[in-house]
């Protein structure tokens, strides 16, 4: 399973766009990139998943360059409630029979008023 590297923490203010970049230099051809959000004392919550280029849903966008060795989670106009830990994971888990996920350190995003 590919190892991921993210910044340990980031600070932002309400209303700003936040971009969190994750490095995954050893990503395999079959690997997908998935981002999760976790609040204290809760289980992680799925945010977005992609394979290449750009994916957008109602809460975030995921940008993946052509070499797929990194990805950027973009959160538009963050609010105080977006303060959480964000995890980037890669793995051959999209529709596969096994979905073993290895969590890295994650990025603690602190949004201030």
Partner 1 sequence: GAVVSQHPSRVICKSGTSVKIECRSLDFQATTMFWYRQFPKQSLMLMATSNEGSKATYEQGVEKDKFLINHASLTLSTLTVTSAHPEDSSFYICSAGRGEQYFGPGTRLTVT
Residue 18 or 36 having the CB closest to partner 1: 36
CB 99 within 8 A of CB 93: yes
Interacting span for partner 1 (CB under 8 A) from 11-19, 21-29, 63-71, 86-94: 86-94
* From 19, 57, 96, 112, residue interacting with partner 1 (rule: CB under 8 A): 96
Min dist. Cβ of residue 65 to partner 1 (A):
23
- Distance CA(94)–CA(27), nearest Å, equals 14
| Cα dihedral value 83, 22, 55, 33, nearest 10 | -110
CB 65 within 8 A of CB 13: no
> 51 to 80, contacts with partner 1 by CB under 8 A?
none
CB 52 within 8 A of CB 66: yes
Residue 37 in the binding site for partner 1 (CB under 8 A): no
Residue 34 in the binding site for partner 1 (CB under 8 A): yes
- Distance CA(97)–CA(83), nearest Å, equals 33
* From 16, 23, 49, 61, residue interacting with partner 1 (rule: CB under 8 A): 49
Residues that bind partner 1 (CB under 8 A): 34, 36, 41-46, 49, 87, 93-106
């Amino acid at each position: 399973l590919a190892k991921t590297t993210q910044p340990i923490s980031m600070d932002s203010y309400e209303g700003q766009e936040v971009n969190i970049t994750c490095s995954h230099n050893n990503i395999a051809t079959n690997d997908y990139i998935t981002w999760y959000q976790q609040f204290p004392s809760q289980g992680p919550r799925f945010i977005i998943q992609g394979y290449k280029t750009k994916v957008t849903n109602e809460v975030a966008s995921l940008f993946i360059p052509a070499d797929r060795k990194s990805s950027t989670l973009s959160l538009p106009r963050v609010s105080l409630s977006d303060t959480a830990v964000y995890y980037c994971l890669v793995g051959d888990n999209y529709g596969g029979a096994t979905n073993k996920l290895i969590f890295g350190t994650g990025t603690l995003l602190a949004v201030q008023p």
